[in-house]
Amino acid sequence: MRVMSAKKLNKTLIFIVLIALLGLAWWAYQTLQQRPESVDEAALSAGEQLAAKGREGVLGCQTCHGAKGEGNFAAGFPRLAGLNRDYILKQLQDFARDPLQTRAHIEPIARDYERTPAIYEDLTVYSAGTRTDAIMNGIAKVLTIEEMQQLGLYYSLLPFTATPVAADVQTLERGAELALRGKPEYKMPRCTACHGPKGAGFGAHFPPLAGQPPAYLIKQINLWQSGARDNDHLSLMKNISNLLTDADKANVAAYFANLSYQVNEE
């Protein structure tokens, strides 16, 4: 049996130490990633109070969105519980924004290629974002930025568990086709490409679709198609909505409503 040389032994020990240090660094990184960020308790409490009771000129959010932000499926009011706080803040800002102050109304370029030889997509002007709603526009306009942030914090931390809504097999199959495949023949991506696996949402720009009332999802697609909603990231939803038929809307909304969904639960 040969004895390992001192030089080779040292190299082996160094390799083992490096592996151990890398493992320790990875463990520390994962621990820090999973550690919940500190919560501003004062802001959280203020958001809870505003959601429950509102204030002068502001209706309490619970009136439409449920006691725990669970939404109202029968009336089509969306759930707010568990949504990304920055997404909630942006939506409130967009409800409050005056479209006349943000949109540039430009006449379409004539398709006269002698006068207009090229149309440069990189010069496209995007709106800062507006949403139209008879109830929310009035409420958002009187909220302060601080109040919007407080509401975003409060609702983002609330737990929510969806109750899957039954639908017939054909509807679910067609909805799954759109959600998981899209319409590649029309260059329309699948819903889950942006909204995450099983429609669970991703970041501040792509909210969850699972756990939302089907009527609400259909209404938003209709608003994008009509132009009444104009606040999606890089006009993605505006372009996608224009490729959806009425049957598509109903099918994909039923599919996401049929999924199990849970957020912020122990």
Domain boundaries, the chain: 41-263
Q: Output the pLDDT for position 235.
A: 86
Using CA atoms, how far apart are residues 147 and 195, in angstroms rounded to an integer? Answer: 27
Matching residue, tokens 């309490």? 60
Q: Is 245 left (phi over 0), alpha (psi -120 to 50) or beta?
A: beta
Over the chain (266 residues), the average pLDDT of each successive run of 10 is 58 59 55 61 97 95 97 96 97 87 47 45 58 94 97 98 96 98 95 96 95 97 92 90 96 97 90
Q: What is the DSSP letter of 188?
A: B
Within 8 A by CB and 6+ apart from 166, the residues are 258
Q: Which two tokens stand for residue 29?
A: 């990184």
Contact by Cβ (8 Å): 252, 175: yes
Helix (H) or strand (E) holding 253: helix 246-257
- pTM, two decimals, is 0.78
Give the pLDDT of residue 35: 43
Q: What pLDDT, on the 0 to 100 scale, is given for residue 110? A: 47
Residue 91's nearest CA partner among 243, 210, 229, 265 is 229
pLDDT at 123: 46
- pLDDT value for 127: 55
**CB distance 217 to 253 below 8 Å:** yes
CA atoms within 13 A on the CB side of 87: 19
Q: Answer whether CATH 1.10.760.10 is correct for domain 41-263.
A: yes
Nearest to 181 by CA among 194, 196, 193, 169: 193
- What local confidence, expressed as pLDDT, does residue 118 receive? 43
